[in-house]
Amino acid sequence: MIGSEPEGDPLLVIDLEKNASRLARRGHPWLYKDDLKDTDLVDPVLSSGAIVRVRDNEGRDLGLACASTRSKIALRLCGAWPGEDVPSLTEFLTDRISRAVSLREDLIGEDTGVRLVHGEADLIPGLVVDRYADVMVVQATTALIDSSLALLATILDEMFKPRMILARNDLAIRRHERLSQEVFLLSGKSVDRVSIREHGVTHIVRPYAGQKTGMYLDQRPARKKVQELASGAKVLDLCSYQGAFSMAALSGGAASVTMVDQSKTALDLAKETARENGFPEPEAICGNAFDVVRDLRNRSEQYDLVVLDPPAFCKSRREVQGGIRGYRDLNRASLRLLAPSGRLVTCSCSHHLKSDMFEDVIRQSTLDLPFRVFIEDRLGSGVDHPVMVRLPETEYLKVRVLKRWD
């Protein structure tokens, strides 16, 4: 039930029933409406989100939670807080953002790209903050964070003094909290493009138009691996998007690079990025990866290094079986393009496809091949996208380096 202090400002406290207490003590930071009594969520303050204290059925403090009546996820636990009070939003956001930034100090530079805040993993459910040099992009997926964007901009302005803070709230997931999809300027002057440096490579980021917040920052470790493997290699970059993997390969000394993507705009930007870095222009094929791979095999093409980073084939549990077929078929076709001793860097960004399921897909992909395939390395998202042990959903990105052995 929700209680309040008899004097002073209202103090929202949710006392969990026995079953909900048991779920909370198991460690998963989400409690659903079905786990709580209706009377726990009657306070009108919760309709737009609020920070509350949570106690178990024996009165033990479980720390803070972001509460909402709009979502099926009624409580998102977000860590301890000293004393018995509930902090103000300013105190809460300033503290949590400062802690998140301190964990990433080694990645923050004048011209780098880094995720400063990664939602639940940084104990700020519903908030993503990405920094591209002197430009910042935020995403809000809960009602509480969405209603706090002006305050958030003030805090970030004081900490970083960025040239722009952009709200990229064009995510479909916002519908779960009855929030509209929109993109708008929060602070500063509009910046359409910004350049960042990563592993010695310049990348062009489009905050308004690029996927996610402008770039797949989570693939930093995989790009480093491709850079290390590319020397003298003939490289095929499937689902290349803006060519970040292709630039990594060229910077690593690839003999040639072929990019494949359905977006001509993305391929044109990749070519521009290559020129910006002084690289030879990679070959670009605009088309569906399945069709292009089949055509390349018919032409008996072989590659020393293939990178496969497709979009999420299963964005919900209902799509998992169909997604598995897509991953399996595209991985099998990609493996068939490998030259002897060649490598495939294959990725899945769907959290519905768990690591063991992904490796089973890879196993299925190799069953009718005339050569052996070994898993040479396992990678995931970078340290600025931390995986929370208590929240398996944060381990969404899986990267496997496969090697052909004859």
Report, as residue numbers or ranges, the catalytic residues.
349
Angle, nearest 10°, between helix axes 244-251 and 264-277?
Answer: 30
Angle at 331 between CA 328 and CA 332, to 5 degrees: 80
212 torsion bin: left (phi>0), alpha (psi -120 to 50), beta (else)? left
φ, ψ for residue 217, nearest 5 deg: -65, -25
Task: Please name the amino acid found at residue 372.
Answer: R
Hey, what are 39's tokens?
């009377």
Q: What is the rounded CA–CA span in Å between residue 141 and residue 170?
A: 10
Give the closest residue to 204 by CA, choosing from 189, 193, 219: 193
Closest CA to 141 of 164, 170, 115, 165: 170
DSSP state of 312: P
For β-strands 303-308 and 234-238, DSSP reports them as parallel
Q: How far apart are CA 298 and CA 288, in angstroms?
A: 16
Q: Classify residue 345 by burial, with Cβ atoms within 10 Å: 0-12, 13-18, 19+.
A: buried
The vertex-130 CA angle with 128 and 133, nearest 5°, equals 165
Strand, helix or coil for residue 279: coil
Nearest by Cα to 196 from 178, 213, 175, 184: 213
Please name which of 131, 111, 120, 133 lies closest in space to residue 75, comparing C-alpha atoms.
120
